Amino acid sequence: MDAETFRVQGHRLVEWIADYLEHSDRYPVLAQVKPGEIAAALPTAAPAEGEPFDRILDDFEKQIVPGLTHWNHPGFFAYFAISASAPGILADFLSSALNQQAMLWRTSPSATELEAVTVGWLRDLMGLPSSFDGVIYDTASISTLHALAAARELKVPGVRAQGLSGRAEVPRVRIYCSEHAHNSVDKAVILLGHGHEAVRHIPADENFSMRPDALDAAIKQDLADGYLPIAVIATVGSTSTTSIDPVPAIADVCERHDLWLHIDGAYGGVAAIVPECRYAFEGCARAHSFVVNPHKWLFVPFDLSVLYCRRMDLLRAAFSLSADYLKTSEAATVQNLMDTGIQLGRRFRALKLWMVMRYFGAEGIRRRLAEHMRLARLFASWVDADPDFERTAPVPFSVVCFRALPRGAQESHADSAINSTSTAAADANGAEIDAFNERLMELVNASGEIFLSHTKLRGRLTLRLAIGQLRTTEAHVARAWTLLKLHAAALDGRGVPA
């Protein structure tokens, strides 16, 4: 493509994206297509001859846009709401153009060094001590995988050379996390060859926080049974409810048994930047590793996850392995990113973290996170004040768990409440409330105005309203509440949605 065509097409794209970001609420937030519909409209083979870029962009609008779920929509309240901020998008555009492959320092000194600088900035803002070094990966799944690989390197002598099987001296391994931990822990443990049974899901208390007494008991039992405990994962901001595991008490248990402590702050970690949230991170400085995803709640376009680790030497011991064709003269004086992980190639991800942190500034980030938390508390207050709804979990950050109560159910509310002991009658009633909420979720999602997701708490369906989109304002949260109220009333035979 000649420079002139690039200019014309690039300017066309800038206009399209500017318009898209300004009016992302013009699209239904959840894609309204049926499975297979997008693929069916596309040719089954690549074209023999090249096509003009104009035509490709036209087809993008016609064939691809209808199948997008709009993560940029201010009504996106599902999973964790994430944001591609404008400075992050522009930075990533540059990163794609520069096409740095930062496996070695020399293949991109700027990507290598800017990564160290920006993860240092973020670490300091979060109040983690400088004994934590940081490295950028793509996703929290990969960050947690590396943390557990480092833990294994520490706790299973000879594992790098000799592995796990066929060695009578290596017992079955155990890794501990809350029953509310993210399943990336389970996947990492399976991949590492420890087997899914190696994960012990520790019971949580009434606030969905891991019980340190239960953790300690499980470890003691496993030690007595001849297992090899290696690591504990504590979560600050769990996926279902954003619950906070009691890190200081868990750190005590880990230190007593000499276990690796990994903190999953993939979503919640950035809240440490906000002074009022700092309490939730007490004890995290005692952890061995900590993952936070700036692509979740720090306005950086997907993907960018940071792993902080106090034993980066173990990560390198587990992974560094230099081929002749990658040896360089400056190896002794520089960090080569390929030595800190499974992936040889590294995209220039630090650029978008740098531009986003500079564009918003520390105070700008604080203000936005605080506002998201204010909106969550506001929505929670509406739920709490309404007899047709109930809240199903505390709201420490920016996610509200709640459910609607159909009128019939309210009459036996004492039995059916999510916190109550289960009985047959309550179960039947619970199933009815579940079905009501599932239907309610489908209806509000079909509106195209908002997108909510769900989880299960104590076996019962609960809705989640996750605030984190940079473009979400109080009006959008209010509209979500209105839609929920209207559709719940209609479902309950008490009215029709406007």
Among 306, 312, 351, 409, binds its own copies (CB under 8 A): 351
Q: Give whichever of 69 and 412 is closer to its own copies, judged by the CB atom.
A: 69
Site string for its own copies, 260-299 (x = CB under 8 A): -----------------------------------x----
Ordered strands of the 289-292 beta sheet: 133-137, 305-309, 289-292, 260-264, 228-235, 173-178, 199-202
Candidate list 244, 254, 307, 355; residue touching its own copies; CB under 8 A:
355
Q: Choose, by CB under 8 A, the member of 26, 58, 62, 94 that binds its own copies.
A: 94
What residues between 190 and 209 interact with its own copies by CB under 8 A?
190-198
Q: Which of 58, 276, 330, 411 binds its own copies (CB under 8 A)?
A: 330
Q: Residue 302 is encoded by which pair of tokens?
A: 């997907």
Rounded to a whole number of angstroms, the minimum distance from the CB of residue 13 to its own copies is 6
Polymer length in residues for the chain = 498
x/- mask, its own copies, residues 56-75, rule CB under 8 A, reads: x---x---xxxxxx-xx---
Tell me how far, at minimum, the Cβ of 65 lies from its own copies, in Å.
8
In angstroms, the CA 395 to CA 223 distance is 36
Minimal distance, residue 397 CB to its own copies, in Å: 16
Read off the amino acid at residue 262. Answer: H
Contacts of 139 (CB under 8 A, 6+ apart): 293, 303, 305
Which residues, 6 or more positions from 51, have their beta carbon under 8 angstroms from its beta carbon?
A: none
**3-class SS of residue 304:** coil
Q: Does 489 bind its own copies (CB under 8 A)?
A: no
105: Cα within 13 Å, side-chain hemisphere: 12
Laid out side by side, the sheet with 399-404 consists of 389-391, 399-404, 460-466, 453-457
Cβ-contact 229, 176 below 8 angstroms: yes
Q: Which is nearer to its own copies, 37 or 276 (CB)?
A: 37
- Report in angstroms how near the CB of residue 248 gets to its own copies at its nearest: 27
For 329-350, the three-class secondary structure string (H helix, E strand, C coil) is CCCCCCCCHHHCCCCCCCCCCH
CB of 226 to its own copies, least distance (A): 8
Residues 307, 146 contacting (CB under 8 angstroms): yes
Spell out, one character per residue from 3 to 22, where the chain touches its own copies: x when CB under 8 A holds, - when not: x-xxx-xxx-xxx-xxxxxx
Helix, strand or coil, per DSSP, at residue 261: strand
Q: Using CB under 8 A, pick the residue from 26, 58, 62, 117 that binds its own copies.
A: 117
Given the complex with its own copies, which of 94 and 217 has the nearer CB atom?
94
Q: How far is the CB of 266 from its own copies (least distance, A)?
A: 10
Size of the site for its own copies (CB under 8 A): 159
Query: In whole angstroms, how close is the CB of 309 to its own copies at the nearest point?
Result: 16
Binding mask 410-449 toward its own copies (x if CB under 8 A, else -) reads --------------------------------x-------
What would the DSSP string read from start to end of 164-231?
Answer: STT-TT---EEEEEETTS-THHHHHHHHTTS-GGGEEEE-B-TTS-B-HHHHHHHHHHHHHTT-EEEE
By CB neighbour count within 10 A (0-12 exposed, 13-18 middle, 19+ buried), where does 96 fall?
exposed
Q: Does 370 bind its own copies (CB under 8 A)?
A: no
CB of 144 to its own copies, least distance (A): 10
Distance CA 291, CA 269 (A): 8
Whole-number minimum distance, CB 408 to its own copies, in Å?
24
Which CB atom, from 120 or from 497, has the smaller least distance to its own copies? 120
Mark residues 23-62: x for contact with its own copies by CB under 8 A, - for none. -------xx-x-xxxxx--x-xxxxxxxx-x--x---x--
